[in-house]
Amino acid sequence: MKSGINEFPSADGLWTGIRLATDANVEGAIVVAQGTIRWVGARSALPAEFTGLKPHDGGGALVTPGLIDCHTHLVYGGQRANEFAMRLAGATYEEVAKAGGGIVSSVRATREADEAALFAQAASRLEQLLADGVCAIEIKSGYGLSLEHERKQLRVARRLGEAYGVTVRTTFLGAHALPPEYAGRSGEYIDLVCDEMLPALAAEGLVDAVDVFCERIAFSLAETEQVFKAAQALGLPVKLHAEQLSDMGGAALAARYGALSCDHIEHLSAEGIEAMRSAGTVAVLLPGAYYTLRDTHLPPIDALRAAGVPMAVSTDHNPGTSPALSLLLMVNMACTLFRLTVPEALDGVTVHAARALGLQDTHGAIAPGMPANFVLWNVREAAELAYWFGQQPVRAVVRQGRIAIGGNA
């Protein structure tokens, strides 16, 4: 690990020998100045003023915006391979949770780990995501479930961003599960989340957005709304784990609070879709969880597409339902399992993922004025990014204006 992004070579200069995924048949050019995109287009249209800049040769690579993983639970202690085995033997996710496994077992391991141990474990996972071309990532809390331990998770998330020079958006998910010490006292726990944990963590600058797991094995619609009100009072945007196992009406509620995104949404209703459309809420699709749980209830992709709701795709990396460390594999699964088109799936990990994090003005595109975040791929055409799985076709990654991978480009 480098101790800081500034140790990576600068990406400033003129990038040629590349093909932009938006127009892969012609040679493209990108001008980076002071870490920011200055110009992008066909090389034949490059203004003369840029021709003498420091050259970077892409060797014919295809270029996309840096990928964005907009829904992860990256920071936690331990792992839960035992539950994987239980589910293979026939137990459902809900049965495992009710038997004292599930989220609460990761809570135990997360509380036991100190900040250094959590950082080290999450760092090695982050390195794998970065190797796949990720340039921005959302990291949720939700395995601490007390002020002290949620703080520890969020601090690790912030430190990861600094150490790796990757944009990190932190999401407070204190309402992920009921901690064992509050068994039977859900209302009291939600009061604690709203009145103490969230205000304190927000005051420490640790919270960029607020999320809730709204589900019959987690929190009710009324409890979800209580958390949303607390977020709103602090001026923080909300998002929601909505309609994953059942239709709770969470998406419509979230849309009323102007949610950035509703995530999972396998059981999303027509009313939920309409509410999301009118609020401009992004639908975050999580094929890794769908796959791991061997779910068969598809999210309503055709209806989302028909309504024009932007669809993002993410790993949902977590130790229970999606131990996935490749966003490109999720692109493949979004196409094979959810029948997204290749352009939809690629927009899902770039432009729409940016919007799901409120980062649409700075991330998810290669556009003048945006920080330079882009990936050079060893592929001929964009469809290959969805087609291959289990390989890493990254040639180079420019992250926050630095050549973070492939520094000899």
Q: Which residues bind Fe ion (CB under 5 A)?
A: 316
Q: Does 141 bind ligand NIG (CB under 6 A)?
A: no
| Residue 363, SS3 per DSSP | coil
Distance from C-alpha of 305 to C-alpha of 314, rounded to nearest angstrom = 17
Helix ranges restricted to H, 139-233: 147-164, 186-192, 198-203, 221-233
Q: Taking the complex as a whole, how short is the minimal distance between the CB of residue 272 and ligand NIG, in angstroms?
A: 17
Q: Which of 287, 319, 348, 364 binds ligand NIG (CB under 6 A)?
A: 319
Please state, as a whole number, how many other Cβ atoms lie within 10 Å of the Cβ of residue 148.
Answer: 9
- Please identify which residue in the block is written with the tokens 């390195």: 127
Measured from the CB atom, the residue of 277 and 317 that comes closer to ligand NIG is 317
Q: How far is CA 328 from the centre of its chain?
A: 12
Q: Taking the complex as a whole, how short is the minimal distance between the CB of residue 263 and ligand NIG, in angstroms?
A: 7
Q: Which does 377 bind (CB under 5 to 8 A by kind): Fe ion, ligand NIG, none?
A: none
Residues 55-114 that bind ligand NIG (CB under 6 A): 73, 102-103, 106
Measured from the CB atom, the residue of 54 and 294 that comes closer to ligand NIG is 294
Span from 28-36, 57-65, 109-117, 313-321 in contact with ligand NIG (CB under 6 A)? 313-321
Q: Are 70 and 334 in contact (CB under 8 A)?
A: no
Q: Which does 320 bind (CB under 5 to 8 A by kind): ligand NIG, Fe ion, none?
A: ligand NIG
Query: Measuring CA to CA, which residue among 205, 260, 235, 259 is closest to residue 68?
Result: 260
Q: Does 170 bind ligand NIG (CB under 6 A)?
A: no
- Please identify which residue in the block is written with the tokens 């994987």: 84
Distance from C-alpha of 59 to C-alpha of 393, rounded to nearest angstrom = 14
Q: Does 314 bind ligand NIG (CB under 6 A)?
A: no
Q: Which of 226, 244, 315, 326 binds ligand NIG (CB under 6 A)?
A: 244
Span from 124-132, 197-205, 268-276, 312-320 in contact with ligand NIG (CB under 6 A)? 312-320
Q: Taking the complex as a whole, how short is the minimal distance between the CB of residue 340 and ligand NIG, in angstroms?
A: 19
Distance from C-alpha of 409 to C-alpha of 401, rounded to nearest angstrom = 13
Q: Taking the complex as a whole, how short is the minimal distance between the CB of residue 316 and Fe ion, in angstroms?
A: 5
Q: Which does 315 bind (CB under 5 to 8 A by kind): Fe ion, ligand NIG, none?
A: none
Q: Taking the complex as a whole, how short is the minimal distance between the CB of residue 116 and ligand NIG, in angstroms?
A: 22
* Long-range pairs of 156-163 with CB within 8 A, sequence gap ≥ 24: 156/75, 156/115, 156/118, 156/119, 156/122, 157/74, 157/75, 157/122, 158/206, 159/119, 160/74, 160/75, 160/119, 160/122, 160/123, 160/126, 162/4, 163/1, 163/3, 163/4, 163/123
Q: Taking the complex as a whole, how short is the minimal distance between the CB of residue 192 and Fe ion, in angstroms?
A: 21
Which residues in this chain contact ligand NIG in the complex, by CB under 6 A?
73, 102-103, 106, 213, 241, 244, 289, 316, 318-322
